[in-house]
Amino acid sequence: MPILTAGTKAPNFSLHVTPDQKLSLSELRGKPVVLAFYPADWSPICGDELSVFNEILPELRTYDAELVAISVDGAWCHDAFAKHKHLHFPLLSDFEPKGLTARAYGAYREADGVCERALFVLDKDGLITWSYCSPVAVNPGADGILKALEELPK
């Protein structure tokens, strides 16, 4: 299944954001949301990609947008990775049942057992307005996200 496209309602999810806390997409309703699925904590490309996203947080704030990143890694792994990279946005664990959320977005790589490198921008009502699936070896950068946020109705 290809990734969900603009005009689709973003499927809700409730995933661990820390070992003892969960975050649901519905809690972010009312704000634009950027969902960044990525294959793996600690891999070089994902590390670069998330470090760049980390640096655009001030700009995301000007759109009142929330960024959450999702991979199949466990919450403790996310915790160590986020500390190592000084990441200031939540990393969610699509860990059990593995890849359930990624599958709902069409962003799961069955053969590899990891998420695609896929980006989604949601409007404040939870509707997907832009999505992009990058070749897994190519880091997409943040230009597409910012352009999509810019195009949201004010």
| CA-based nearest residue to 120, from 52, 66, 55, 44 | 66
Binding flag, residue 43, other proteins (CB under 8 A):
no
DSSP helix/strand/coil, 137: coil
Query: How many amino acids of this chain bind other proteins (CB under 8 A)?
Result: 21
Please, which residue, 57 or 77, has the CB nearer to other proteins? 57
DSSP 8-state secondary structure symbol assigned to residue 4:
P
| Cβ 127 to other proteins shortest distance, Å | 25
Based on the number of CB atoms within 10 Å of its own CB, is 109 exposed (0-12), middle (13-18) or buried (19 or more)? middle
Among 2, 51, 64, 96, binds other proteins (CB under 8 A): 51
Among 25, 75, 128, 142, binds other proteins (CB under 8 A): 142
Q: Which of residues 77-106 bind other proteins (CB under 8 A)?
A: 85-88
Binding flag, residue 54, other proteins (CB under 8 A):
yes
| CA-based nearest residue to 14, from 76, 88, 70, 81 | 70
Among 7, 143, 153, 154, binds other proteins (CB under 8 A): 143
| CA-based nearest residue to 33, from 70, 75, 2 | 70
Q: Is the peptide bond before 97 cis (omega within 30 degrees of 0)?
A: yes
Residue 46: active-site member: yes
| Cβ 142 to other proteins shortest distance, Å | 5
Q: Which residues contact 97 (CB under 8 A, 6 or more apart)?
A: none
Beta bridge partners of 128: 122
Binding flag, residue 138, other proteins (CB under 8 A):
yes
Stretch binding other proteins (CB under 8 A), from 11-19, 69-77, 91-99, 141-149: 141-149
Beta bridge partners of 122: 33, 128
Catalytic residues: 46
Binding site for other proteins (CB under 8 A): 45, 48-49, 51-52, 54-56, 59, 85-88, 138-144, 146
